[in-house]
Structure 1
Amino acid sequence: MLATCVIQPIDMIKVRIQLGQGSAGEITKTMLKNEGIGAFYKGLSAGLLRQATFTTARLGTFRILTNKALGQ
């Protein structure tokens, strides 16, 4: 989840580059000027929910399969 928080601003800039809004520098300046620092973290709750769901499911499945493989 920490990685998601760190990567979120970079991912927001990447998406806007893909939408053709300019270069990374231009987009960063525009976002800060017009929308503030919070613009970089829009959608963070969805990313954190995804991580919580997928990571929990992955770890739970791993434990179950490991226990079956070890005969426990």
Structure 2
Amino acid sequence: MSATAKRWAGPMALYLLGIFMGALDTGIITPARPLISTQLGVDESAGNLDDHDLHTRLRGGDPHHGQAR
């Protein structure tokens, strides 16, 4: 293996891993998400937190009302 090929082996492997993870997400995880959330009894919007919602929830408040629970 040449020095150029060795230099590109790591970035290429990382790139291909990223493509594989994207395909896995699109092909398996995204279609299964509603079923998983139903089976676990979790609202589908539970994973859709922005920074403000996450910070408010970590402080023990309700992100939609701005008040502590």
- Please classify the TM superposition score into its range, dividing by the shorter chain length: 0.3 to 0.5
Higher relative contact order (CA 8 A, sep 6+): 1
Provide TM-score, normalisation by structure 2: 0.36
CA radius of gyration, larger in? 2
Instruction: From the two aligned structures, give the one with the greater helix fraction.
Output: 1
Provide TM-score, normalisation by structure 1: 0.35
